Amino acid sequence: MRLAVLLASQRPVNIALLGAGTVGAEVGRVLIEKQDVYARQLGRPLNLMAVVVRDTSKPRKGIDSALLTTDAVKLLDEAKLDIVVELLGVEFPALDWIQMALRNGKHVVTANKEVMAKHGPQLLALARENGVDLLFEASVGGGIPIIAPLKRDLLANDISAVSAIINGTTNYILTAMAREGADFGDALKRAQELGYAEPDPANDIEGEDARYKLSILASLAFRTFLPRDDIYREGITRLTARDFRYAAELGYAIKLLALASRVDGGIQARVHPVFLPVDAPLAKVDGVLNAVQVEGDLIGRVNFQGPGAGFPTTSSVIADVLDAAQTVIGGRRASHATEDAPAHVVPMAALITRYYIRLTVSDKPGVLASIARILGDARISIASVIQKEVHEASNTAELVIMTHEAREASVQDALKAVQDLPEVQEIGNFIRVEEQ
Amino acid sequence: MRLAVLLASQRPVNIALLGAGTVGAEVGRVLIEKQDVYARQLGRPLNLMAVVVRDTSKPRKGIDSALLTTDAVKLLDEAKLDIVVELLGVEFPALDWIQMALRNGKHVVTANKEVMAKHGPQLLALARENGVDLLFEASVGGGIPIIAPLKRDLLANDISAVSAIINGTTNYILTAMAREGADFGDALKRAQELGYAEPDPANDIEGEDARYKLSILASLAFRTFLPRDDIYREGITRLTARDFRYAAELGYAIKLLALASRVDGGIQARVHPVFLPVDAPLAKVDGVLNAVQVEGDLIGRVNFQGPGAGFPTTSSVIADVLDAAQTVIGGRRASHATEDAPAHVVPMAALITRYYIRLTVSDKPGVLASIARILGDARISIASVIQKEVHEASNTAELVIMTHEAREASVQDALKAVQDLPEVQEIGNFIRVEEQ
């Protein structure tokens, strides 16, 4: 209660959303739904002041219709507005509105890869001139943290290469082609049916989307400006089921990679399908997942993987909003120790998981029945039993039991009882199963 | 030159190193070696003021012996000292010196997992009271950015679980056991010979090291304090070659996981060997690599992988130093656009890589010889040729050629000449090979 009173007495950090499409509506909804959590983290409430849309009569789930407005220009001039979140997903009017916001001294958070790839340097300079932040974590890799790590965590390195799978649509199609021997056309059609590819998929399958994102990543990594037009581009449309078959035979996966590296004389940057050795970490990134691999002089090679689009993008957008809000408040970054109460730790005995149990038993009838009875009495149900390696000399056999989910305490008790059976020579091992 | 003059006229950011062991000496060396790069990034030089060691007579590679001192207490009281980098690797005197530094208003960067796991909350509170930063990216996961992403990029999430492979020694041993069918003792011995395991390996193989790191990660992720003694711990010494054989048969890998998750009633936290489905991302993390997987309500699942120890730790330590230095300077975070010159992009024609070429040719003698001659003339050497799928009806065959490294321009020219051969029906595809 005291916290609530304290927070209510403080001026909130005011936020405006430009756009309420898929990501925009989700960001709005989460900012409202989790306002108490974020207020506690910041020590100051976040207030969603307005949402700019084209049509205010259309209802937006989880967002009060009173917040909707069509007048961006007036909103961006509001003195009390602190942070502008641009989620229009197209170049115009996003570019104009971002410039307007920066000139008016507002911090800007954007997920707009096109605007950042084309106009990043000018916009970042404009932000600096006006003493505000321009944050764009969500413009590449959806929810994966990659922009902030490049700006902060990898800053000590001279980066030599960035290799990335940064288009979920093409990676989904290539994964289907590899797994099912599908041809490109069929795989694309199914991706469209499942909503993983647009009705007009050209931007994705021709590598243009990946090129925007590589332009942003490489500009950051190499501390320069790499215009997207300077990036060589080839799409995935020429690939056939046969190429995948031969690739597999030769020990390779086929992926659409976005690659930028320092070479003699400059930077080499390209987006095209590649043969990747099946053991390479990026060869194992399947479906709509994205991954970015960075190589630096100090770190060697580091890899970031996660969902590259859709709802998880909200995580990156709001991380940027919280960062900008901390700058507005002017305090230090929120520390994890703000809630000082120690954790309530659940005892190991309460764990519920599956178990692998390996036993050495006398090789005679009825042994398994005795063990099964003990497990059954402890409500541990058996998923499978394999009898292994009968040793004629000692007249023993090895049993491998996989259980269904059971409670650790029950398993420990049951194993003690099993150990006491005269037919059981030894419990060789038991290992918990982690389904991920 | 102008930059050098400008930088020289400004007060440097003064740094002291506590400890010059493996990581300490590397950090010192890199700070000196890359001082120009870092000065450009910060707009202010970093100055390594002193290095505290036990024995000043022992030479440290790349570090001027005049910088060495044994008097930490006097150094930590120096008014002009800004940042203290603690790399002692043991609890004492590290804890005392960190407290002293914080009380004296110095920012502290530490790689000390033991100190952070045992005393993190008090030290962070002390840092707050004194208005300085305490940064500890290097305490978990070596060079992998994970602390800063948890503090910043994932802040919008309610985190439900952290699963991690955070001990390189045990992961190296488990990988050897899985790949070679080795027994624990043999795998450990070899890890020791190769320097991947300590002469006294107890701390690693019993899971104690992983427990320290999980304590730090889980405390951050769940915004609480999870003492390491509350974490269930089991080492890898009980595992046998047989367990690995059965695991493989059943479709699992065996890994030492550090796991913390929110469950009804609190947090469950444990370090023990697990069966992981072979397709799980963490099941594919082999050798001395580390990986941390985080699950949150917005992001779903995100994965950070990289080198978990040794030299790459320098990357994390210096990232924290640069971050603290920016706080000292008081300016905005360095932006990637500081060097405005556009990138010099090397043309695609200059690419050197290997190529996969698929051709449909007339099924008659001499065809391969003609193609090989053209490639040879263009200095493209063939690594392998496979003849595939002879079509009796059309009297054609498919050839799959893998080249050694060649220049893109030469390959393009050669393919044109190949295309013009009367025996060549079609160049089905050519795909660049990316060896990673």
Test B300 with A316 for CB contact under 8 angstroms. no
Residue A257: CA count within 13 A, CB half-sphere: 29
- Does residue A430 belong to the interface with chain B, where contact is any CB pair within 8 Å? no
Å between A150 CA and nearest CA of chain B: 9
Sign of CA dihedral B352, B354, B356, B361: positive
Q: Would you state the pLDDT for residue A4?
A: 54
d(CA B404, CA B309): 35
B188: Cβ–Cβ under 8 A, 6 or more apart, which residues?
B173, B197, B201, B205
Q: Which residue has the tokens 């398994």?
A: A368
Question: Strands B396-403 and B352-362, how do they pair?
Answer: antiparallel
The pLDDT, as a whole number, for residue B334 is 44
Chain A residues whose beta carbon lies within 8 Å of the beta carbon of residue B39: none
Q: How many C-alpha atoms does A63 have within 13 Å on its Cβ side?
A: 30
What is the least distance, in Å, from the CA of B18 to any CA of chain A? 19
Length of chain B: 436
The pLDDT assigned to A162 comes to 98
pLDDT of residue B341: 67
Report the alpha-carbon distance of residue B367 to residue B362 in Å, rounded. 7
- B79 contacts chain A (CB < 8 A): no
Residues A191 and A170: their CA atoms lie apart, in Å, by: 9
pLDDT score recorded for residue A209? 97
CA distances A134 to A84, A86, A228, Å, are 10, 11, 20
Query: H-helix or E-strand containing A232?
Result: strand A232-233
What pLDDT is stored for residue B335 in this prediction? 43
Question: Chain A within 8 Å of B218 (Cβ-Cβ)?
Answer: yes
Look at residue B83 and give its three-state secondary structure.
strand
* CA B288 to each of CA A117, B165, B310: distance values in angstroms, whole numbers, following the listed order: 36, 10, 10
> Among residues A113, A118, A213, A255, which one is catalytic?
A213
pTM of the model: 0.92
Please work out, in degrees rounded to the nearest 5, the angle formed at the alpha carbon of residue B98 by the alpha carbons of B93 and B103.
Answer: 130
Query: Would the pLDDT of A74 be above 60?
Result: yes
Residue with tokens 């006006």: A130
Residues B135-170: tens digit of each pLDDT: 999 999 999 999 999 999 999 999 999 999 999 999
Q: Is the pLDDT of residue B6 over 80?
A: no
- Residue A219 at interface with chain B, using a CB cutoff of 8 Å: yes
Torsion of CA A273, A274, A277, A281, to 10 degrees: -60
Higher-confidence residue of B137 and B10: namely B137
Closest residue in chain A to residue B267, using alpha carbons only: A345
Question: Rounded mean pLDDT of A376-386?
Answer: 94
- Mean pLDDT computed over every residue of chain A: 92
Using one digit for the tens of pLDDT, what is the confidence trace for B406-425?
A: 999 999 999 999 999 999 99
Contact B232 A356 (CB under 8 A): no
Q: Are A144 and B436 inside 8 Å of each other by CB?
A: no
- B128 and A335 within 8 Å at the Cβ level: the answer is yes
Superfamily of domain B2-142+314-338: NAD(P)-binding Rossmann-like Domain (3.40.50.720)
Distance separating alpha carbons of residues A37 and A30, to the nearest angstrom = 11
Q: Which of B106, B118, B213, B255 does the annotation list as catalytic?
A: B213
pLDDT of residue B212: 97
Environment class of A58 (CB within 10 Å of its CB; exposed 0-12, middle 13-18, buried 19+): exposed
Strands A382-391 and A396-403: antiparallel
pLDDT tens digits, residue range A138-170? 999 999 999 999 999 999 999 999 999 999 999
Give B309-350 pLDDT, tens digit per residue: 888 999 999 999 999 999 999 855 544 444 556 788 889 999
**In terms of C-beta density within 10 A (0-12 exposed, 13-18 middle, 19 or more buried), how is residue A292 classed?**
buried
Residue of A nearest to B400 (CA): A246
Query: Contact at 8 Å (CB) between B48 and B15?
Result: yes
Residue A340 confidence (pLDDT): 56
| Test mutation, B229, B298, B320, B386, chain A, max A CBs within 10 A | B298
Write the single-letter amino acid at B431.
I
Rounded Cα distance between B27 and B316, Å, is 10
Q: Mutate one of A37, A298, A332, A435 to test the B interface: name it (highest B CB count within 10 A).
A: A298
DSSP bridge partners of B232: B270
Q: List, as ranges, residues 54-73 from B with C-beta within 8 Å of A.
A: none
Q: Are strands A46-52 and A68-69 parallel, antiparallel or unpaired?
A: parallel
As a whole number, mean pLDDT of residues B260-274 equals: 93
State the nearest Cα–Cα gap between A201 and chain B, in angstroms: 22
A258 contacts on B by Cβ (under 8 Å): none
Establish if B278 touches chain A: CB-CB under 8 angstroms: no
Kindly write down the DSSP assignment for every residue of A268-310, as one continuous string.
EEEEEEEEEETTSGGGG--TTEEEEEEEETTTEEEEEEEE-SS
Check pLDDT > 70 for residue A12.
Answer: yes
Model ipTM over 0.95: no
Among B residues 352-381, those touching chain A with beta carbons less than 8 Å apart:
354, 356, 358
Distance (Å, whole) CA B329 – CA B326: 5
Q: What is the pLDDT of residues A208-219, one digit of tens each?
A: 999 999 999 999
The structural domains of chain B, with segments of one domain joined by +, span 2-142+314-338, 147-307, 348-433
Say how many C-beta atoms besides its own lie within 10 A of residue A194's C-beta: 11
- The residue of chain B with its CA nearest to that of A311 is B298
Q: B362 φ, ψ to 5°?
A: -65, 135
Shortest alpha-carbon distance between residue B16 and chain A (Å): 17
Cβ–Cβ under 8 Å, residues A257 and A164: yes
User: Is the separation of the CB atoms in A156 and A252 below 8 Å?
Assistant: no
Q: Report the largest interatomic distance among the alpha carbons of chain B, rounded to a whole angstrom.
A: 90
* Confidence band for B1, pLDDT divided at 50, 70 and 90: very low
- Rounded to the nearest integer, the mean pLDDT of chain B is 92
Confirm if B236 and B170 have CB atoms less than 8 A apart: yes
d(CA A377, CA A384): 17
CA nearest B250: which of A435, A407, A384?
Answer: A384
Is residue B210 a contact partner of residue B259, using CB atoms and an 8 Å limit?
Answer: no
Peptide bond into A93 cis (omega under 30): yes
Q: Is the confidence at residue B5, as pLDDT, over 80?
A: no
Q: How far apart (Å, rounded) are the C-alpha atoms in residues A217 and A226?
A: 9
* DSSP characters over B309-345: SSTTHHHHHHHHHHHHHHHHHT-PPPPGGGS-SBP-B
**Side-chain half-sphere CA neighbours of A245 within 13 A:** 13
- Contact of B323 with chain A, judged by CB distance below 8 Å, is answered with yes
CATH architecture of A147-308: 2-Layer Sandwich (3.30)
Burial class for A2, CB neighbours closer than 10 Å (0-12, 13-18, 19+): exposed
Least trusted range by pLDDT, from A7-16, A88-97, A181-190: A7-16
| Predicted local distance difference test score (pLDDT) of residue A3 | 53
Sheet with A83-86, side-by-side order of all strands: A68-69, A46-52, A13-18, A83-86, A107-110, A134-135
The DSSP annotation for B252-264 comes to: EEEEEEEEEEEET
Among the listed residues B264, B11, B351, B219, the one whose alpha carbon sits nearest the alpha carbon of residue A335: B219
At A265 the pLDDT is 83
What per-residue confidence (pLDDT) applies to B436?
Answer: 74
Which position has the token pair 């004296």? B104
The highest-level CATH class for domain B147-307 is alpha beta
CB contact under 8 A, A37 and B158: yes
With beta carbons under 8 A apart, name residues in chain B contacting A344: 265-267
Q: How far apart are CA B354 and CA B383, in angstroms?
A: 9
- In chain A, what residues touch B273 (CB-CB under 8 Å)? 431-432
Q: Which residues lie closer than 8 Å to A416 by C-beta, 6 or more apart?
A: none
Question: Can you say how many angstroms the Cα of residue B150 is from the centroid of all Cα atoms in its chain?
Answer: 16
pLDDT at B321: 97
* Topology (CATH level 3) of domain A348-433: Alpha-Beta Plaits (3.30.70)
**Strands of B68-69's sheet in order across:** B68-69, B46-52, B13-18, B83-86, B107-110, B134-135
Q: What is the mean pLDDT of residues B180-192?
A: 95
Q: Which two structure tokens, joined as six digits, stand for A411?
A: 């398993």
CATH says A2-140+314-338 is which class?
alpha beta
DSSP conformation letters of B364-417:
STTHHHHHHHHHHHTT--EEEEEEEEEETTTTEEEEEEEE-SEEHHHHHHHHHH
Chain centre to alpha carbon of residue A151 = 18
Amino acid B9: pLDDT: 62
Backbone angles phi, psi at A222, to 5 degrees: -100, 5
Q: How far apart are CA A420 and CA B410, in angstroms?
A: 74
**Which positions in chain B touch A319 (Cβ < 8 Å)?**
152-156
What is the per-residue pLDDT for B3? Answer: 53
CB-side neighbour CA atoms (13 Å) of A179: 12
User: Quick one: how far is CA A96 from the chain centroid?
Assistant: 30
Cα dist from A185 to A236, B171, B176, whole Å? 11, 42, 42
B106 a catalytic residue = no
